[in-house]
Amino acid sequence: MSFSSAHRLYVKSLYKRMLADSLDWSVSREAWRRRALLIRAEFEANRHVHDPRQLAVILDKAEAELASRQHPDPVISPLYPGGTKWERNIPPPIGPLYDHLAAHPDSHGAAHDAGAPGAH
């Protein structure tokens, strides 16, 4: 039985989320690598399960395990939303900071026209 691409994307997403969460709990990459290999082994052990009901049970159990192990303060890259450097030095907008024409619509061009020849 072949599974849909949506199912494959879901399983990949679950795997990546489990790896990311285990990295949040690790103090070193070496310790995390051992845990990552265990996570991979769990996914590989269930690779040949083709029964949709059994897969649903396995995936629900994995989601519940992930939810129960969720780190209370996950690591966020400094430049990503929620990071320490997110939107720190935002470049200024290109264009005028104050729209003089919109603020003074009645005086538009009045000074320029007053000094022009034939304006009177």
Decide if 63 is inside a domain: yes
- Interatomic CA distance for residues 93 and 61, integer angstroms: 48
Q: Is residue 19 within 8 Å of residue 39, measured between CB atoms?
A: yes
Range of the domain at 36: 5-69
Q: Which residues, at least 6 apart from 108, have a Cβ–Cβ distance to it below 8 Å?
A: 101
Decide if 74 is inside a domain: no
Decide if 12 is inside a domain: yes
- Phi and psi of 32, rounded to 5°? -65, -40
pLDDT of 110 strictly over 80 = no
Task: Indicate the number of domains in the chain.
Answer: 1
**Whole-model pTM over 0.75:** no
Q: Which residues, at least 6 apart from 30, have a Cβ–Cβ distance to it below 8 Å?
A: none
pLDDT band with cut points at 50, 70 and 90 for residue 83: confident
